[in-house]
Structure 1
Amino acid sequence: MHRISIFDIFKIGVGPSSSHTLGPWKAALAFLELIPELKEVAAIKVHLYGSLSKTGVGHGTDIAVMLGLEGFDPETIETADIPFHIGRINSEQLLQLGGGAAGAKVGFNPAKDIVFENRARSFHPNGLTFIARLNSGRKIRRTYYSIGGGFIVREGSASKLVGHPTMPYPIECADDLLGYARSSGRSIADVVRQNELRLYTAEDLNAKIDRYLNVFSSVVHKGCIAPEVNLPGGLNVKRRARRMAAKLLGEPAALEYPAFDAQLRRIAPDFQSVTSWVSCFALAVNEENAALGRVITSPTNGAAGVIPAVLFYYRYFCPKSTLAAERDFFMVAGEIGSIFKKNATISAAEGGCQAEIGVSSAMAAAALTEVLGGTPEQTLMAAEIAMEHHLGLTCDPIGGLVQIPCIERNAMGAMKAITAANLALQSDPDDAIVELDVVIQTMLDTARAMHSDYKETAEGGLAMRVSVATAAC
């Protein structure tokens, strides 16, 4: 799996969940490609298993598969139009299968044709099966698994990612990454860059990273100006980022990003202000995510606020921040995420929230350490520290919604990342007892030992103590 690109880890998509929304959406698009003639489809059904069944409604899995079957791209769909599309499908009881000129209308009753199965499949907790019956009577059936971070695997297909060419620095684990940095004299960011240059020209790589950096900026800003309404789902969780930003600024956040940028650059960077802003940035992103807004999996949607919050901390509160360094930040974060993906998991349904917030915090800690001048050893040390203090973190979303405790957890993960970076920068890695590869393996061991109730099932922890009905009162 050494061919994972940073752009496999970072994906632009729609909230609230990369494994329960983006993955099933991509699976639906993949299934469409297997149907030779869409106009020959007489009926279609979708079966959801395991965690996709137990928390699918709260995570928008049903919405995702319908939009995918209609051919919408999660990266480009106008998110404000999603309620209209879903309302149309429900009222007409029809899918415009595949959309566009090649599409075909097929009868579809979401209440009956999306089946929430009361069981899991053996390969992974996030399973879903599509069945298309053709006019000829033939059936096309495929099962997919959404394995975290928007990655999908089709049952019966090879699970390794083989689409990329061999990299000059093939990385399987953190020790490989450190070895290449030492032997080549390159920074970790530069080692990653050399790999990515096998996929892109230097100009295209910078342009693609800059596009993602702009999306990070856009989602933080959008969250800071969004109306203070309740998030969907019935928990009545009120958006806070707009009021928080206005209170910290002493005026409303500007409606255009350049003016918002200017406001942030005037902030006096005292401790209380900085820590409050880091929390505000994280909340802004994950409130957008919970509202089915466009975010970047980092490495998942549920953990999408940590990376941009720490990036904004660097941009606005660290002296001499530069665009070139932000690109390095992005590359280091992506590579750390890929190492976790290869050797453990980034799926909360498989490993609990340590696999999402924990991984994102480790990614951010390493990235921040790199751009603040840390050595390769300190950069990996920061990632280890961040994950070490997320081990065992459970996933227990109330009502299966990516809201409580998920939104605030992003703020906590961001602050842990900054603390981990500061600790690493003030430490001698030669004195470290635990290495990053060891903590990654420990995270996997912990995931395997964790009770299934605490793996995104909404059957343990806070989800059992607080119901949607109770919270709504």
Structure 2
Amino acid sequence: MFRLFKRLPQATTQPVAHQRGLIGCFRFYSKPSLEAQPENTVDPEEDHHAVVSTFDLFSIGVGPSSSHTVGPMRAAKFFINDLKEHNLLDKVDTLRVDMFGSLALTGKGHGTDNAILMGIEGETPDRVETSTILSRVEDIHTNKSIKLNGTHRIQFDPERHLIFNYFKTLPQHPNGMRLCAYDKDANMVATNEYFSIGGGFVVNDATQLDHGENVYYKQMEDDSKEVVAERKDQDVAVVALPFKNAEELIAVCKRENMSIAQVVYENELKWHTPLEIREKLLRIWNTMDESIRNGVMSTEERLPGGLNVRRRAPGLYQKLLKGLYGPVATTSGYRDSQLALPTSELASISNDAAAVPPTREASSLANTVLPKRQRKKYMLPALDYLSVYAIAVNEENAAGNRIVTAPTNGAAGTIPSVLKYYIEFISESPEQDVMEFLLTTAAIGMLYKRGASISAAAVGCQGEVGVACSMAAAGFTAVMGGTVEQVENAAEIGMEHNLGLTCDPVHGLVQVPCIERNALAAVKAVTAAQLALNSNGEHRVTLDQVIETMRQTGMDMSSKYKETSQGGLAVNVPVC
């Protein structure tokens, strides 16, 4: 039986004793995650590795924000799934949803309310038809009703039941939300609190892990209990080549005589077959490339949201097509970089390879798929290409269209821009390069996720665009033939010069300064890679030192500069 609540615990800006909620999956969060802890302390007994799946860091979603759109949509979907699992859907007469902290302060501009409504109706970020969202939301407002999981219609008035608590914050994390379900007699039948900690990751008591929090809770399987238990066991104990920080990652590479991408690939073999790894990586890249194409070919003149921001990517791209390519042959259309996904003919080969126990012998497969490479040189000017590609993705994100969290939506343009530039003008083996680039960047993202945060609401934009710049710099250095030390150096440079980067979106929209910021981060990433490649790998500041500095800087940063739109450009740029 589920206990009924007389009242909810009060939200606060100060730590309070955590109160237990309902049994089963409906419980209040009892232990803050690593990213949610202000002191970022770690229990020595639970000081686990940094390894999470590449496909948890890179996931296909919808704009404009991973923490404010993707995460809340997932959280609402999880809550509805739990209601269904406990046979409570038919008992629910209405819902109440409360948003706190940054989710409330910038939720309107980020489309948080619309995302939650879609999650309640059973949609997921990777599958929702983005072109139908606004019309469906309008229907919910007009009819004052909503369909739970798309099947069970209940009364629901967003003006009364979707609450923005602008001056309240839950103690665990700035991005908190609470969902409550009531029966026809106004008795509460279920409730839960969720925390969107960046990159689309969602944490609550039932899913918390101290390392790589909620690595499995981006999943939507019906057998969620089994998935949770299985992934907890996997991520704590069953990792082929674990590492906690950059120093350990380099040591693993040297000990095994492997590249960073090969280390990540071998770890992925614990969770996926070679065919699945290849298919997932190529699908991620194809989605990135599609978002670039949609951005540069868009016929929309302005972005939604009220700032009246003009789309610039289409015009900039047309200028490139008219002659700025220089020695490269010009074309009248988009230069497609899509890669063919694995076919059934390849399944038997990959599955045979997967049959090899994922022990030390598996490294031979990593060497086959991702062989060591020769150093490359690039001659073309990068600035124009990197800028237009990054702007294109972030304009698509701002419009609420399909993108890849890389590692977040607000920073979604940097990594695709750098990889697109490399594939289009330098690459000799696009498929191999995509795999090595993405696996290398994923390793760097894992280090930031464990050692600091990828949430702007927690540490400012250094945790989003700064991390993306660092990841892209590492990936570019790797595919250019850099050593492991040079890759680490590039990642360090990419973040060192983004330390203290604030998140102050004007009008709460992921447009100003977010779109241009991604373009500059892409250029900075290539510059960081060039500096690292022109050195011998020796450098005074390490990546681990920069990550710790970033964490401390984020903790010291005033909350008005952490995705609340209460400071910086958000208060100095007039909306009208």
The two structures have a TM-score, normalised by structure 2, of 0.77
Moved over 6 A (4+): none
Q: 2:140 aligns with which of 66, 89, 102?
A: 89
Separation (CA, whole Å) in 2 of partners of 1:402 and 1:158: 28
Separation (CA, whole Å) in 1 of partners of 2:477 and 2:332: 27
Q: Classify 1:120/1:111 alpha carbon distance in 2 versus 1 (closer, same or farther; 3 Å).
A: same
Per the TM alignment, residue 320 of structure 1 is displaced from its structure 2 partner at its CA by 2.6
Structure 2 partner of 1:212: 284
Separation (CA, whole Å) in 1 of partners of 2:207 and 2:476: 37
Separation (CA, whole Å) in 1 of partners of 2:551 and 2:79: 31
Structure 2 partner of 1:260: 334
Checking the alignment, whether the CA contact within 8 Å between 1:142 and 1:155 is kept in structure 2 is no
Structure 1 partner of 2:428: 320
Give the 3-state SS of the residue equivalent to 1:128 in structure 2. strand
Checking the alignment, whether the CA contact within 8 Å between 2:51 and 2:446 is kept in structure 1 is no
Deviations 1:114-154 (A, max 9, x none): 11112111111000000100246343110100000001111
Give the 3-state SS of the residue equivalent to 1:88 in structure 2. helix
Deviations 1:251-299 (A, max 9, x none): 9xxxxx99522699xxxx9755x31111000000000000000100001
Separation (CA, whole Å) in 1 of partners of 2:89 and 2:303: 36
Deviations 1:216-252 (A, max 9, x none): 110000001111421111000011111111111029x
Structure 2 partner of 1:189: 261
Report the number of matched residues.
457
* Structure 1 range deviating more: 45-54 or 159-168: 159-168
Sequence identity (%): 43
Separation (CA, whole Å) in 1 of partners of 2:470 and 2:564: 24
Deviations 1:182-224 (A, max 9, x none): 0000111101100001111111111111111110110000001
Checking the alignment, whether the CA contact within 8 Å between 2:292 and 2:392 is kept in structure 1 is yes
Give the 3-state SS of the residue equivalent to 1:260 in structure 2. coil
Give the 3-state SS of the residue equivalent to 1:122 in structure 2. coil
Per the TM alignment, residue 73 of structure 1 is displaced from its structure 2 partner at its CA by 1.7
Is 1:226 equivalent to 2:298 in the alignment? yes
Structure 1 partner of 2:156: 108
Separation (CA, whole Å) in 2 of partners of 1:321 and 1:408: 30
Separation (CA, whole Å) in 1 of partners of 2:280 and 2:149: 28
Unmatched segments (≥5 aa) in structure 1: 252-256
Structure 1 partner of 2:27: none
Deviations 1:312-366 (A, max 9, x none): 1111122535310211001111111111001100000000000000000000000
Q: Classify 1:244/1:270 alpha carbon distance in 2 versus 1 (closer, same or farther; 3 Å).
A: farther
Q: 1:28 aligns with which of 67, 76, 80?
A: 76
Q: Classify 1:434/1:87 alpha carbon distance in 2 versus 1 (closer, same or farther; 3 Å).
A: same
Q: 2:241 aligns with which of 166, 169, 177?
A: 169
Q: 2:196 aligns with which of 146, 152, 161?
A: 146
Structure 2 partner of 1:8: 56
Separation (CA, whole Å) in 1 of partners of 2:452 and 2:256: 27
Separation (CA, whole Å) in 2 of partners of 1:119 and 1:392: 25
Map 1:273-292 → 2, pairs under 5 A: 274-292=382-400
Map 1:300-379 → 2, pairs under 5 A: 300-318=408-426, 320-379=428-487
Structure 2 partner of 1:254: none
Checking the alignment, whether the CA contact within 8 Å between 1:228 and 1:243 is kept in structure 2 is no
Checking the alignment, whether the CA contact within 8 Å between 2:337 and 2:420 is kept in structure 1 is no
Is 1:68 equivalent to 2:119 in the alignment? yes
Q: Classify 1:258/1:293 alpha carbon distance in 2 versus 1 (closer, same or farther; 3 Å).
A: farther
Structure 2 partner of 1:44: 95
Structure 2 partner of 1:442: 549
Q: Report which of the two structures shows the higher radius of gyration computed on alpha carbons.
A: 2
Is 1:451 equivalent to 2:558 in the alignment? yes
Q: AA paired with 1:261?
A: R
Separation (CA, whole Å) in 1 of partners of 2:524 and 2:256: 31
Give the 3-state SS of the residue equivalent to 1:229 in structure 2. coil
Q: Classify 1:434/1:214 alpha carbon distance in 2 versus 1 (closer, same or farther; 3 Å).
A: same
Unmatched segments (≥5 aa) in structure 2: 1-48, 215-230, 324-330, 339-377
Q: AA paired with 1:43?
A: T
Q: AA paired with 1:120?
A: T
Structure 1 partner of 2:309: 237
Deviations 1:385-423 (A, max 9, x none): 000000000000000100000000000110010001110
Per the TM alignment, residue 157 of structure 1 is displaced from its structure 2 partner at its CA by 5.0
Structure 1 partner of 2:4: none
Q: 1:403 aligns with which of 511, 522, 533?
A: 511
Structure 1 partner of 2:274: 202
Checking the alignment, whether the CA contact within 8 Å between 1:10 and 1:297 is kept in structure 2 is yes
Structure 1 partner of 2:572: 465
Checking the alignment, whether the CA contact within 8 Å between 1:303 and 1:360 is kept in structure 2 is yes
Separation (CA, whole Å) in 2 of partners of 1:30 and 1:228: 34
Checking the alignment, whether the CA contact within 8 Å between 1:145 and 1:155 is kept in structure 2 is no
Separation (CA, whole Å) in 2 of partners of 1:322 and 1:300: 24
Q: AA paired with 1:193?
A: Y
Q: AA paired with 2:314?
A: R
Is 1:78 equivalent to 2:129 in the alignment? yes
Separation (CA, whole Å) in 2 of partners of 1:80 and 1:402: 19
Per the TM alignment, residue 467 of structure 1 is displaced from its structure 2 partner at its CA by 2.9
Is 1:123 equivalent to 2:231 in the alignment? no
Give the 3-state SS of the residue equivalent to 2:93 in structure 1. strand
Separation (CA, whole Å) in 1 of partners of 2:555 and 2:142: 43
The two structures have a TM-score, normalised by structure 1, of 0.93
